[in-house]
Structure 1
Amino acid sequence: MLFDSLKKIRRYEVLHEALPAAFDFLEKSDLSSLKEGRYEIDGDRVFALVQEYDTLSSEQKMMESHRKYMDLQIPISGSEEMGFAYPEQVREIQAYDETVDIALFKPESYQTFRVDAGSFAIFHPGELHMPGCSVVSKGSEKVRKIVIKVKI
């Protein structure tokens, strides 16, 4: 898991050969005007999902992990907490579904960090994460976010 300022995102393009195309998309797009939905960057290899939702308390959320794709989570507006856990801190509640590349887990314990507009988080395949949690001091909040999926 990586967390940093969006201003520094280019330093991470060495992690995978497809990341420069993802970062080009971020730099060349008017992110605030993109409508919800899927945007092809490089077919199924790299694509962006524009999402809008209200955050929920962490008790209402599940951990997730992926096997095929790396997640770049980039809030455009709003703030959310994201949880992360080690495999020994969770129990699987929904077996891996290859068609949507996700397995869901119930966390026994986990850590959280706050992700605001202007920052981002990267989760590699197998890393357990829980996006979309309410910032405790703010309660539920509308978040607009881009999740870029990069096939590994």
Structure 2
Amino acid sequence: MFYSEIKIAEKYNYLEEKFLVAYKWLKEQDLKTLPVGKYPILGDIVVANIQEYTTLPVEEKRFETHDLYFDIQYLVEGIELFGICKREGLNENSFNPEKDVRFYDMPKNYGYIILNPGDFIVVAPEDAHMPGCRVEDSVPVKKVVIKVKI
């Protein structure tokens, strides 16, 4: 899965070495047994974060973006609804520079995909995303979010 606008399609190389290293790491790890935590893959350029949480209703989630990193979000266990829309035109309501995350008011229009185990999505800085939403019932999820520095 790859999500982008045609106007930025050539801005980033999603097969650049740093992305290939991330994809290779995902394939080679026993992700079901890795504990929650941070795993440097390529110094601070590519870092994996293993997360476990319970999905929540869309009404309890917010769209977010990152200025300095791409997200490669890979679902290990569970199922989640993953909201996606353009960052442009959103109303920002908070910013945490230490965590490189901006949050936004809920947009009027957005799309979503459903992530199942083994699915991933690459989210660029121009893409707002809302991970961790429940599909029907709230369920436990294990996910790897790989941060790839721009």
Q: TM-score, normalised by structure 2?
A: 0.86
- CA distance, structure 2, for counterparts of residue 128 and residue 143 of structure 1: 21
- CA distance, structure 1, for counterparts of residue 146 and residue 88 of structure 2: 27
The residue type paired with residue 149 of structure 2 is K
Contact persistence 1:40–1:47 (CA under 8 A) = yes
The residue type paired with residue 135 of structure 2 is V
Contact persistence 1:80–1:114 (CA under 8 A) = yes
- CA distance, structure 2, for counterparts of residue 46 and residue 27 of structure 1: 15
- CA distance, structure 1, for counterparts of residue 60 and residue 83 of structure 2: 12
Secondary structure in 1 matching 2:105 = strand
Which residue does 1:142 correspond to in 2?
140
Higher strand share: 1
C-alpha deviation, 1:89, in angstroms: 5.9
The residue type paired with residue 124 of structure 2 is H
Which residue does 1:31 correspond to in 2?
31
Higher helix share: 1
Which residue does 2:103 correspond to in 1?
104
Unaligned runs of 5+ in 2: 4-12
Deviations 1:16-51 (A, max 9, x none): 320111122112211111000000101110010000
Misfit runs of 4+, over 2 Å: 13-17, 86-90
- CA distance, structure 1, for counterparts of residue 102 and residue 16 of structure 2: 23
Which residue does 1:82 correspond to in 2?
82
Q: TM-score, normalised by structure 1?
A: 0.85
The residue type paired with residue 118 of structure 2 is G
CA RMSD of superposed structures (Å): 1.7
C-alpha deviation, 1:81, in angstroms: 0.2
The residue type paired with residue 107 of structure 2 is E
Work out whether 1:132 is the aligned partner of 2:148: no
C-alpha deviation, 1:106, in angstroms: 1.4
Contact persistence 1:89–1:107 (CA under 8 A) = no
Number of aligned residues: 140
Going from structure 1 to structure 2, the CA distance change for 1:14 and 1:132 (only over 3 Å counts) comes to closer
